[in-house]
Amino acid sequence: MVQARLQHIVFGEWVPAVLGEALAARYGLLPKRDGYTRYDPSVDATLLNEFAGAALRFGHTIVNRRFYLLNANWSKAGFETLTGRFFAPFPTRKALWDQVARGLVRQPMTAFSRDVRDVDFFSAAISEYPLGNASMGPTIACIAVDSLGRLKWGDRFYYEHAGQAGSFTPAQLRTIRQTTLAKVICEDTEGTHWIQRNVFLLPREENPVAHCSDIPDIDVNAWVE
């Protein structure tokens, strides 16, 4: 169940946020609204070295230098620097984790650098202009689409696949599809009562802030036999 919820967050929220919903939909990477998918044994599920070693590292370019700490009212309570926490990643106070989590979902990411100094794969790829609503350029997007497709269609344990040992029932799959990272943050941080529904995007009219009690949760009764 935990792995299925993680996969749903990755493919349902993170993938459209970084690839853009149109591109993710075009290549069949978005979760289905209902029903099942089918495992394809002809798909090689191993990752491209270019994806693991370079393309997915695009995320390093959008890490902020400062991580703002937001209190339960979403007001700034201070900040932590990346350099200050790089070799001391574990705050001594649990409350700090809650503030960091709230800060991460409200702070805009750092933009790509457009200054290409060294034309090797990684530096050139991250210097491309992002595609539409994507967070990456065409080269990284091409590699990401290929690799994410391998992880989805070539993994017989992917949570939406039917006909596999351990495939979920329709009722279980329906409730797994209600999973959002917003709800996870609501449940796992103290003092968080309001949050935008999609935490991979900043709050705006089409991504409104909601009370945690109004965000659907998983129904474990679907596993009762």
Residue type for 3, please? Q
Look up the pTM and report it. 0.80
CB half-sphere exposure, 78, CA atoms < 13 A? 8
Cα torsion 43, 46, 51, 57 to 10°: value is 130
Lowest mean pLDDT among 68-82, 148-162, 165-179: 68-82
Lowest mean pLDDT among 114-118, 149-153, 202-206: 114-118
Rounded-to-integer distance, Cα 58 and Cα 47, Å:
16
Q: How many CB atoms lie within 10 A of CB 152?
A: 26
Residue 86 has pLDDT above 90, yes or no: no
Residue type for 189, please? T
Rounded-to-integer distance, Cα 154 and Cα 160, Å:
12
Residue 119 has pLDDT above 80, yes or no: no
Closest CA to 98 of 65, 67, 63, 71: 71
Helices (H), the chain: 2-9, 15-19, 21-26, 49-53, 82-85, 94-104, 121-125, 138-153, 170-176, 181-188
Q: How far is CA 164 from CA 32, 56, 81, 155, 182, in A?
A: 17, 29, 46, 11, 30
Residue 77 has pLDDT above 90, yes or no: no
Report domain extents, the chain: 1-39+156-225
Residue 112 has pLDDT above 60, yes or no: no
